[in-house]
Amino acid sequence: MDHVSINVEDMDAAKEFFLMLGMEVAGEAKVGGAQVGRIIGLTDPMSDVVFLRTPDRHSQIELVRHLAAPDENGPHAPASNRLGLIHIAFEIEGLTALLAELRAKGYDTVGTVENFEDVYLLCFLRGPEGIIVELAEDISPKHGS
């Protein structure tokens, strides 16, 4: 897999959120025109695009702000049981400290933080525009070895 794309209205908030999760900016551009429109099925699109990658450089997220054809319905916050792509998972270190930073910025968990079978400390976090990310900290005994 090369990347996952997320459409946003507030590019600055979305970018800041993913940077707080440890991602790095890989590139930024303005894209559009007839060829892009034919590919994505929109007439005369123009978009701001930011690519963010994980520190290990194995995964990327593409944030897209559609300038010429914004979503008329605006952002929505889906429930965790909705059909379709719902969340992206990140394995992180220091979940408790990161969660405190994110809560200070106004983000909060969807449910509770749970110790899942002494293997992971897990939670779902709702970010800007309803984006859900799963945060997982490896707390297994083998991880500490």
Check pLDDT > 80 for residue 143: no
Same domain, 18 and 62: yes
Same domain, 62 and 107: no
* Domain span at 102: 87-144
Residue 113 belongs to some domain of the structure = yes
Residue 139 belongs to some domain of the structure = yes
Same domain, 10 and 62: yes
Q: What would the 3-class secondary structure string for the chain be?
A: CCCEEEECCCHHHHHHHHHHCCCEEEEEEEEECHHHHHHHCCCCCEEEEEEEECCCCCCEEEEEEECCCCCCCCCCCCCCCCCCCCEEEEEECCHHHHHHHHHHCCCEECCCCEEECCCEEEEEEECHHHCEEEEEEECCHHHHC
pLDDT tens track for 103-141: 999 999 999 999 999 999 999 999 998 899 999 999 998
Say whether pTM exceeds 0.75. yes
Number of domains in the chain: 2
